[in-house]
Amino acid sequence: MSTAPAVEVESLVKRFGDFAAVDDVSFSVEPGELFGFLGPNGAGKTTTISILCTLLTPSDGAARVAGFDVATQPGAVRSSIGLVFQEITLDDYLTGAENLKFHAVLYGCPPRQVRERAAPLLEMVGLTDRADQQVRFYSGGMKRRLEIARGLLHAPRVLFLDEPTIGLDPQTRAHIWAYVDTLREREDTTMFLTTHYMDEAERCDRIAIIDQGKIVAIDTPSALKASIGSDVVTIETADDALALEQVARGLSVDGELTDRGLRLHVPDGEGFVPRLFEHLSVGIRNVNVRRPSLDDVFMEYTGRDIRDAEAGANDQFKMNAMTRGFRR
Ligand SMILES: Nc1ncnc2c1ncn2[C@@H]1O[C@H](COP(=O)(O)OP(=O)(O)O)[C@@H](O)[C@H]1O
Ligand SMILES: [Mg+2]
């Protein structure tokens, strides 16, 4: 058994005109790992995944998947990977089982492999009973599950999932994750997924936080949270700016003003709160103490809240569209 990385990316760049959607990104994913890209809309997640799946060519740098170079060995890469993309790409007028067969023919899977794998995969994603029904009668969650089964049909070494649960309700998202966990137990597949959901990032072995085309941090979720090295105390007061000044002067604690109040990082949150009440002369409306979350990690490494970053991404998209010279 080789222990070469399942995915290896070196100084990868993807430019659209003058704009670098992926800007000098390097990382590697170990075999069997569940690796996640966490970032807001427009961060460069889909662009990176598209390069790894040979759907886009890199502008600079190199990437290998299952040991094959994406630029010079695209065929070998394609036969080593499975893909579950943001948009649903099933044929609505075929049944679930037919969709799997159709995909197998398209990708040149041996018929024997399809016979052996289709039924257990359908079972795994809970679609055995619906296998002979046309896909147009499936719910969004069922379609996604069928796509995951389809992505696994040719026993890929690496499965790429681009925002696999986007737009699905919380219950269906939980289901999909249960299948991902089952999958990890039964198959030794490396998984690379992108998400902008913090709870999904938490489930990964390691995550890379990507923002504006760059990886700003990469580690296990717990190591990233520990790297902040303190508790987070958020307070809402009658005058947050004044409170910040008093906290800085009286307690020597730095903080930042956010639209959800004043955020402070302290080693011992519970011990800090009584001192806070002693030192502040402004009225305190709300106090919250917690261990750092991935939201805090995102904030720490990008200086922005992931939700604000999301909102800003729409403007970014419009701007790119303009610089690309889009016409109606
Ligand atoms: N074909 C393209 N031409 C020009 N700009 C693009 C193209 N595809 C993506 N972009 C831009 O690259 C950036 C990253 O996009 P994308 O990789 O889709 O982000 P994410 O998947 O993280 O939301 C965005 O600003 C997007 O507008
Ligand atoms: Mg995307």
Are 218 and 243 found together in one domain? no
pLDDT for residue 311: 66
| DSSP secondary structure letters along 182-232 | HHHHHS--EEEEEES-HHHHHTSSEEEEEETTEEEEEE-HHHHHHHH-SEE
Alpha carbon 26 to its chain centroid, in Å, reads: 16
Please check whether residue 25 is in contact with residue 48, taking contact to mean a CB–CB distance below 8 angstroms. yes
**79 & 205 share domain:** yes
Atom 18 of ligand 1, residue of closest alpha carbon: 46
- Please report which ligand is nearest the Cα atom of 317: 1
Question: What pLDDT is recorded for position 324?
Answer: 44
Tracing tokens 């030192």 back to the chain, one arrives at 279
Nearest Cα residue to atom 12 of ligand 1: 21
Residue ranges making up the domain that contains 210: 7-224
**What pLDDT was estimated at residue 285?**
92
Whole-number pLDDT of residue 155: 82
187 located within any domain: yes
Q: Quick check: CB of 47 below 6 Å from ligand 1?
A: yes
- For residues 92 and 234, state if they share a domain: no
- 220 and 124 belong to one structural domain: yes
The region that residue 126 occupies, defined by phi over 0 for left and psi between -120 and 50 for alpha, beta otherwise, is: left
Q: Which atom of ligand 1 is nearest to the CA of 19?
A: 5
In terms of domains, do 197 and 258 share one? no
Could you tell me if residue 173 is inside a domain? Answer: yes
Q: How many whole angstroms from 21 Cα to the centroid of ligand 2?
A: 11
Q: What is the reported pLDDT for 164?
A: 85
Q: Is 43 in the pocket of ligand 1 (CB under 6 A)?
A: yes
For residue 270, the model assigns a pLDDT of: 87
CA–CA separation, 167 and 148 (whole Å): 16
Token reading at 12: 């990868």
CA–centroid distance, 15 to ligand 1, in Å, is: 10
pLDDT along the chain (328 residues), means of 10: 84 97 97 94 95 96 97 94 84 93 83 86 90 94 90 88 84 81 81 91 95 96 88 92 92 86 88 90 91 88 79 53 40
Amino acid at 227: S
Residues 271, 158: one domain? no
Question: pLDDT tens digits for 71-102?
Answer: 999 999 998 999 888 777 899 999 999 999 98
**Closest ligand by atom to 18 CA:** 1
User: Which one, of 214, 191, 180, lies nearest residue 34 by Cα?
Assistant: 191
Structure tokens at 160: 């790429």
pLDDT at 98: 93
Q: Of 207, 224, 241, which residue sits at a domain end?
A: 224
CATH number at residue 85: 3.40.50.300
Q: Ligand 1 centre and the CA of 266: distance in Å?
A: 37
Q: Give, for 8, the enclosing helix (H) or strand (E).
A: strand 7-16
Q: Is residue 16 part of a domain?
A: yes
191 in the same domain as 251: no
* Residue 68 shares a structural domain with residue 201: yes
Ligand 1 pocket check for 45: Cβ under 6 Å: yes
Ligand 1 centre to CA of 39 (Å) is: 12
User: Token pair of 200, please?
Assistant: 């999904």
> Closest Cα partner for 192 from 182, 204, 181?
204
DSSP letter for 95, please. Answer: B
244 occurs within a structural domain: yes
**Is any atom of ligand 1 closer than 6 Å to the C-beta of 212?**
no
Q: Is residue 300 part of a domain?
A: no
* Pocket probe mutation, ligand 1, options 14, 15, 16, 53, max atoms within 8 Å of Cβ: 16
Q: Ligand 2 centre from 24 Cα, in Å?
A: 18
Best residue among 22, 25, 47 to mutate for probing ligand 1, ranked by most atoms within 8 Å of CB: 47
For residue 195, tell me if it sits in a domain.
yes
Nearest bound ligand to the CA of residue 325: 1
Residue 319 C-alpha to ligand 1 middle, in angstroms? 11
Q: Are residues 15 and 162 in the same domain?
A: yes
Domain boundary among 180, 207, 224: 224
At residue 243, the pLDDT reads 93
Average pLDDT, the chain: 88
Of the candidates 209, 224, 239, which is a domain's last residue? 224
Residue 307 belongs to some domain of the structure = no
Q: How many residues does the chain have?
A: 328
d(CA 252, CA 266): 10
Task: Say how many domains are in the chain.
Answer: 2
pLDDT of residue 328: 33
Q: Is the CB of 314 inside a 6 Å radius of any atom of ligand 1?
A: no
Q: What is the pLDDT of residue 268?
A: 87
- Report the greatest alpha carbon distance in the chain: 75
Residues 212 and 258 in one domain: no
56 ligand 1 Cβ < 6 A: no
Contact predicate 253/247, CB 8 Å: yes
- The reported pLDDT for the residue numbered 132 is 96
Q: What is the 3-state secondary structure (H, E, C) of 21-78?
A: EEEEEEEEECCCCEEEEECCCCCCHHHHHHHHCCCCCCCEEEEEECCEECCCCHHHHH
Q: Where does residue 101 rank: exposed (0-12), middle (13-18), buried (19+ CB within 10 A)?
A: middle
The enclosing domain of 240 has a CATH number of: 3.30.70
CA–centroid distance, 285 to ligand 1, in Å, is 41
| CB neighbours of residue 79 within 10 Å | 15
Domain contains 125 = yes
pLDDT confidence of residue 190: 93
Whether residue 211 is found in the same domain as residue 81: yes
Residue 44 Cβ inside 6 Å of ligand 1? The answer reads: yes
Across 66-113, the runs of DSSP E, i.e. the strands, are 68-69, 81-84
Q: Are residues 283 and 182 in the same domain?
A: no
